[in-house]
Structure 1
Amino acid sequence: MKNTIRLLTSSSLLISLIACGTAMKAPMVDPAITVPNGHQLVMSALGSGELTYECKAKAAMPNTFEWSFVGPVANLTDKNGIVVGKYYGGPTWESNDGSKVTGKQLAVVPGNPGSIPLQLVKTNGGTGTGAMSDISYIQRLNTVGGIAPTDSCSSDNLGAKKMVKYQADYLFYKPN
C-alpha cells in the first residue's frame, strides 16, 4: 500500500513523495539543517498561524528596544488541509491523538526573503502514543512570513505585542 505525503514548496507547488514500504526520501537542504544519518522522514504537515513578538528593551542596553520573539500558535494540517495537530510555545508539536513532542533548535539558515529562517530541531522526547511518538528531529522548511514587525519599538510602546502571520512545512523524523 502506498502512502502519499505532499509538501508545500516555496513556489507554492505541491510535490508528492511516495513511500512504497521503504523510508521516504528526505529533501535536499542546506547541510546545517540536514537531519543526521540514522533517521527517516515519517510525516509532514503544513503549519499556518501566527508568531507573537513583544517590544522589549535589549539585554544590557536599557535605552535600546527591539521586537523579541515570544512564541508561536499554529495549526498543523495534512495534504488535504485537515487539521492534524497544533504547534505552540515550548516549542511543542502536538497531534490530535494527544501525543506531543518538544525540542531545541540546533541550527537555522536563511529562508525566503521576508520570512523566518529554516530550522533544524532536536526533540527532547515525547509524551503519549501516536503520531509524535519517537520523533527525533523536526525540520522547518519553505517558510513564508513571520519576521519581526517593522513598526516602531520604543519606550512609548514597551510591552506591546504584535501577531505576525506565517506558514511553514514541518517534516518529522524518527530513528531508523
Structure 2
Amino acid sequence: MKLQATVLSCALAVLASGCAQTPPALQPSQAELPLLTLQAAGTQQYECRGAANGPQWTFVAPEADLYDATGERVGHHFAGPTWELRDGSRVTATVSARHQPKGADSIPWLLLAARHADTPDKLSAVTSIQRLDTVGGAAPAQGCTSATIGAVTRVPYAARYVFFARRGA
C-alpha cells in the first residue's frame, strides 16, 4: 500500500509540475507528429550486481501502469522497453538520445526509436517515443554491497510518454 501511495504521489507531482521545455536533442524528426500522450506511474527495478569498480545497482526493467488524460488506466509499460495498451497493441523501442533533468533522484528523459511486430494495431504507426517530466526512479545511492549481490529494489517513478507517428500515417 505504501508503494502505491508513493507512486501516486510521483504521478501527481508530474502532473502538477507542468511540462518543462523539451531539450532539442530529444525532439523527434519534423516529419513526426504527436499521436498519443500517456502518464506512467510505477517503479524502476534495479539489481545489486558485481562490477569492476565494486558492487552497484544495475537497471533491470520498468514496471508501470499507463494512464490517459482522464486518469483511466489504458496500458502497461515493462521490460523491452515495451508499452502495451489494454487492446493488446504494443510497441518496443531503443534509446536514441537522453537528457539528465535537474535532481539526482530522477531518471533521464529519453528519445526512443520505435520497433514493431508485423501486426497492424493502434501503436503500429508509432515511430518515436519521448519519456519526459520524470520524477524519481533513479538507482539508490547506497545499499549495494558485496553482501547484497543479487538483491532487487524497486524505486517509484512517474513520467510522461509522448508517442509520435509520421505525418499522414
Shorter-chain TM-score range: 0.7 to 0.9
* Conserved? CA contact 1:39–1:173, under 8 Å: yes
Report the Cα offset of residue 134 of structure 1: 1.1
The answer to which structure, 1 or 2, has the higher relative contact order (CA under 8 A, 6+ apart) is 2
Provide, for residues 45-81 of structure 1, a one-character-per-residue CA deviation record: whole Å limited to 9, x for no partner.
Answer: 00100110000011xx1x6110000000100001111
Secondary structure of the corresponding residue to residue 124 of structure 2? coil
Change in 2 beyond 3 A, CA 1:111/1:13: closer
Q: Is the 8 A contact 1:126 1:134 kept in 2?
A: no
Which residues in structure 2 correspond to 1:78-157 (within 5 Å)? 78-113=68-103, 114-126=105-117, 128-157=119-148
Partner letter of residue 44 of structure 2?
A: L
- Is 1:29 the counterpart of 2:25 in the alignment? no
| 3-state SS of paired residue (1:12) | helix
What is the one-letter code of the residue matched to 2:98?
A: V
Amino acid at match of 2:142: D
Question: 1:47-86 residue pairs with structure 2 within 5 A?
Answer: 47-58=40-51, 61=52, 64-86=54-76
How far does residue 9 in structure 1 lie from its aligned partner after superposition?
8.1
Kindly provide the CA deviation profile for residues 135-156 of structure 1, in whole angstroms up to 9, marking residues without a partner as x. Answer: 1000000000000012321110
Which has more radius of gyration?
Answer: 1
- How many residue pairs get matched? 155
Are residues 126 and 14 of structure 1, via their aligned partners in 2, closer, same or farther at CA, if it must alter by over 3 Å?
farther
Secondary structure (helix, strand or coil) at the match of 2:25 reads helix
- Higher strand share goes to which structure? 1
Residues 37-48 of structure 1: pairs in structure 2 closer than 5 A: 37-48=30-41
More helix by share: 2
CA distance in 2, matches of 1:150, 1:51: 14
Paired residues of 1:54 and 1:159 also in contact (CA < 8 A)? yes
- Letter of the 1:73 counterpart: E
Does the CA-based 8 Å contact 1:112-1:143 persist in structure 2?
no
4+ runs deviating over 6 angstroms: none
Distance 1:9 1:32, change over 3 A: farther
% identical aligned pairs: 34
8 A Cα contact 1:126 1:132, kept in partner: no
Amino acid at match of 2:54: T
Superposition TM-score, scaled by structure 2 size: 0.84
SS at match of 1:136: strand
Unaligned runs of 5+ in 1: 1-7, 16-26
